[in-house]
Amino acid sequence: MKLFDVYPLFDVTPVQAKDVFIFDEQGVQYLDLYGGHAVISIGHAHPKYVEGITQQLNKLGFYSNAVKNPLQNELAKQLATDSGCHNYALFLCSSGAEANENALKLASFHTNKASVIAFQNSFHGRTSAAVASTDNAKIISPLNAQQKVDFHPLGDLEAVEKTLQKGETCAIIIECIQGVGGLDQSTTEFYKGLEELCKQYGSLLIADEVQSGFGRSGDFFAFQKHGITPHIISMAKGMGNGFPVGGILIHSDIKASYGLLGTTFGGNHLACAASLSVLEVLKNQDLMQNAQQMELYFRQLAEDIPQILQFKGRGLMLGLEFEFPVSKLRKTLLFKHKIFTGSSKNPNLIRILPPLTIQKEHIDAFFSALKQEL
Ligand SMILES: Cc1ncc(COP(=O)(O)O)c(C=O)c1O
């Protein structure tokens, strides 16, 4: 049987990884500035993470959500402490799209409305309502297109209010730092404006922190820089450092009832063990502070490169925008200099999403390679 051919693949086969490095079949070392798409938060094969998952696997890997799982409660408690989001409840699932799907469904249940506001260049995943809220017509099938979604330019409060006035919007979903779209952000005034409008018109504000959450922005969640309180916060990627874990934090204004949401795999014992290890390492190694410091170092070195037109993003969710398409440059960085980087919807932008453990020497190596090729 062949694989269903949906991924254009780089000709690299990683077989091992450690911290910020990946190794292929021949033992060639690659610097990982991509983090497997912002997934690797505490570094590849972190000993605490390996130990946490291994110990749990030897005890109990999985049982269903029909029985008590104290690890879920422990994760909820730790998440509240570490994120500072105290007035929320946790629902666990297994991916970013699933997190957003549940967030949107819950918003619709809660408000009894059926339409969504999303933003241009957004990416929220590939399932039903999540993909319909994603600004990419190519990945929305006719089935998905039945969902009612209004897309507005990032920053345009007037357009948002006009749509809200129709009284049909269950939720506004937003990435406070756009990932796939190309690292655009709006102003605190705009995010606060959305919060206010949601209150005024009885809609819910969903912060999609699937990519930016779990410390990647330098704060636990990217929305926290703007002092807003979303009704629902969706998470995944860095949450499990590669183990498929996702979840939503749900504000206490929204009430649960049996059967409202559900999943077989979400919140299983292994997933909780993975995420608890991630939280422990994030805290013990001060990785959010490292993300802030490494952003400053990235900025400093980028300033010396005239070909970089714009430095975008925050923490270790960064974008370097050039005046030319970067696909050839990214291939050279990968195959000649053995450095993984990311792409985005913007063809001129290199995306930098390394493990949060990255150090100055790794950033030096990247800029030295970049300078040689420009
Ligand atoms: C902001 C954001 N939301 C949702 C998703 C979807 O996550 P997943 O691929 O785990 O379904 C992604 C994936 O890139 C993302 O960047």
Domains by residue range for the chain, with CATH: 47-284 (3.40.640.10)
Give burial (CB, 10 Å; 0-12/13-18/19+) of 225.
middle
Check residue 65 and give its pLDDT: 97
Check residue 308 and give its pLDDT: 97
- pTM of the predicted protein model: 0.98
Find residue 342's DSSP bridge partners. 351
Residues ≥6 apart with Cβ < 8 Å to 214: 41, 220, 235, 237, 238, 239, 278, 282
Query: Given the CA of residue 122, which atom of ligand 1 is nearest to it?
Result: 1
Check residue 157 and give its pLDDT: 98
Check residue 374 and give its pLDDT: 94
Query: Given the CA of residue 236, which atom of ligand 1 is nearest to it?
Result: 10
Ligand 1 neighbours, Cβ below 6 Å, are 37, 95-97, 100, 123-125, 175, 179-180, 208, 210-211, 236
CA of 21 to the centre of ligand 1 (A): 23
CA of 183 to the centre of ligand 1 (A): 14
Check residue 136 and give its pLDDT: 97
Q: Is 360 helix (H, G, I), strand (E, B) or coil?
A: helix
Query: Given the CA of residue 212, which atom of ligand 1 is nearest to it?
Result: 1
Check residue 236 and give its pLDDT: 98
Q: Is 29 helix (H, G, I), strand (E, B) or coil?
A: strand
CA of 236 to the centre of ligand 1 (A): 8
Residue 183 is classified by DSSP as S
Residue 208 is classified by DSSP as E
Find residue 152's DSSP bridge partners. 119
* Residue numbers in the chain where pLDDT is lower than 50: none
Mutate which of 7, 95, 210 for ligand 1? The one with the most ligand atoms within 8 Å of its CB, which is 210
Count the helices and strands in the chain (H runs, E runs): 11, 14
Mutate which of 211, 235, 343 for ligand 1? The one with the most ligand atoms within 8 Å of its CB, which is 211
CA of 293 to the centre of ligand 1 (A): 26
CA of 258 to the centre of ligand 1 (A): 27
Sign of CA dihedral 54, 56, 60, 65: negative
CA of 340 to the centre of ligand 1 (A): 19
CA of 66 to the centre of ligand 1 (A): 28
Query: Given the CA of residue 246, which atom of ligand 1 is nearest to it?
Result: 10
* Helix H or strand E encompassing 300: helix 287-302
At what angle are helices 287-302 and 360-373 packed, to 10 degrees? 30
Check residue 329 and give its pLDDT: 98
Check residue 284 and give its pLDDT: 98
CA of 82 to the centre of ligand 1 (A): 22
CA of 316 to the centre of ligand 1 (A): 17
Query: Given the CA of residue 126, which atom of ligand 1 is nearest to it?
Result: 11
Please state, rounded to an integer, the average pLDDT across all residues of the chain.
98
Check residue 59 and give its pLDDT: 98
The residue contributing the CA closest to ligand 1 atom 13 is: 125
Query: Given the CA of residue 125, which atom of ligand 1 is nearest to it?
Result: 6
